[in-house]
Amino acid sequence: MIRNRFVTLSPEIEEAKREHKPIVAMESTIISHGMPYPQNVETALECQRICRENGAVPATCAVIDGQICVGLTDEQIDYLGREGKNVNKASRRDLPLLLALRRDGATTVAATMIAAASAGIRVFATGGIGGVHRGAETTMDISADLEELAHTPVCVVCAGAKSILDLNLTMEYLETKGVPVIGYGTDELPAFYTRKSGIKVPWRLDDPGLIADAICAAEEIGYEGGMLVVNPIPEEYSMDADAINKAIDEAISEANRLGIKGKETTPFLLAKIKDITGGSSLAANIQLVYNNVRLAAKIAASI
Ligand code: PSU
Ligand code: MN
């Protein structure tokens, strides 16, 4: 735990730390850039409720006025949701500047892992992580989320990765960096909107308690880096693979045609896929996040 003048824990998180209660971190780029208003705010608040219902204290993270905030008020969440893309999308490389200039930033998985680790929080729930983009062999577009998983000791629970990414290369990268990838109740990497990708994961665990044991073992040996738990979207909300893959291909072609690059790529693709699918991808996205929060709370409670 690294406490300094740039990190603020909410009173609820301070108390949870003091009393050794289970805590689950959550990101805020998903609020500002990952979903439209008002579903983004409704989803973020519902995630916090589900987290509490499953025995853990929610710590949504963002940079507000140059402070890394661990635990946000409902008003702060509403602000990030309403402002949407006007808020800086804050990944690792943005943090020093946002702090020094006293700006606001919605934290990506990478930046949220840094916030969580600075508060000694070991479990983090989100929807999808960034990864190696398709065509990365020429663009070198690889999300900083993967490097963060290699270095920062936080267990991230997600629904796999969208096929806007090259899933095979993403798995290779995680292997090279020594990041454990654990399928929760599955042998396969889920592809976010669908439960299967055809790509094997190195480990499968069916019990949140065993995932907690792995986190504790890593901590005891001073293991550098985090872990990735991949949790398939519940069957009843999973999408038709052909339809969603067609929408993703179309969104990628459009991004290439418009020359979208850098940090704009992922938010552009997410919004485009939502439009192409007439909003049904958003409904699936919301449900898989809830499912991940439930699992993360159970893992945190077992530590
Ligand atoms: N994937 C999603 N939804 C998201 C993101 C990714 O399905 O909201 C967001 C997360 O905040 C993630 C970030 O950390 O995008 C990755 O952005 P980039 O690819 O620019 O690193
Ligand atoms: Mn990128």
| Alpha carbon distance 273, 253 (integer Å) | 12
User: Is the CB of 112 within 6 Å of ligand 1?
Assistant: no
Confidence at residue 165, expressed as pLDDT on a 0 to 100 scale: 96
Q: Active site residue: 27, 89, 148, 272, which one?
A: 27
Domain end marker among 121, 146, 170 = 121
Confidence at residue 59, expressed as pLDDT on a 0 to 100 scale: 99
Closest ligand to C-alpha of residue 106 is 1
Q: Tell me, yes or no, whether 104 and 213 share the same domain.
A: no
Convert the pLDDT of each residue in 233-282 to its tens digit: 999 999 999 999 999 999 999 999 999 999 999 999 999 999 999 989 99
Q: Tell me, yes or no, whether 302 and 240 share the same domain.
A: yes
Number of folded domains that form the chain? 2
Domain end marker among 89, 121, 153 = 121
Confidence at residue 223, expressed as pLDDT on a 0 to 100 scale: 94
Kindly report the backbone phi and psi dihedral angles of residue 97, in degrees, each rounded to the nearest multiple of 5, phi listed first: -70, -45
Q: Tell me, yes or no, whether 152 and 239 share the same domain.
A: yes
Convert the pLDDT of each residue in 160-200 to its tens digit: 999 899 999 999 999 999 999 999 999 999 999 999 999 99
User: Is the CB of 195 within 6 Å of ligand 1?
Assistant: no
Candidates 108, 116, 114; CA nearest to 90 is 108
Which residue has a Cα nearest atom 1 of ligand 1?
128
The token pair that represents 64 in the structure block? 């507000």
Q: Tell me, yes or no, whether 67 and 50 share the same domain.
A: yes
**Domain region containing 246:** 129-303
Convert the pLDDT of each residue in 108-165 to its tens digit: 999 999 999 999 999 999 999 999 999 999 999 999 999 999 999 999 999 999 989 9
Q: Tell me, yes or no, whether 170 and 250 share the same domain.
A: yes
**% the chain with pLDDT above 70:** 99
Report the mean per-residue pLDDT for the chain.
97
Contact, 70 vs 25, CB < 8 A? Answer: yes
Domain end marker among 121, 156, 171 = 121
Q: Tell me, yes or no, whether 138 and 92 share the same domain.
A: no
Assess whether pLDDT exceeds 90 at residue 288.
Answer: yes
Q: Tell me, yes or no, whether 140 and 117 share the same domain.
A: no
Work out which ligand 1 atom sits closest to the CA atom of 162: 7
Work out which ligand 1 atom sits closest to the CA atom of 89: 11
Read off the CATH number of the domain in which 57 is found: 3.40.1790.10
Q: Tell me, yes or no, whether 147 and 295 share the same domain.
A: yes
Q: Tell me, yes or no, whether 155 and 261 share the same domain.
A: yes
Q: Tell me, yes or no, whether 16 and 107 share the same domain.
A: yes
Convert the pLDDT of each residue in 84-111 to its tens digit: 999 999 999 999 999 999 999 999 999 9
- Mutation probe of ligand 1 site: the residue of 26, 63, 109 with most atoms within 8 A of C-beta: 109
Closest ligand to C-alpha of residue 139 is 2
Q: Tell me, yes or no, whether 95 and 163 share the same domain.
A: no
Q: Active site residue: 17, 89, 162, 272, which one?
A: 162
Confidence at residue 3, expressed as pLDDT on a 0 to 100 scale: 75
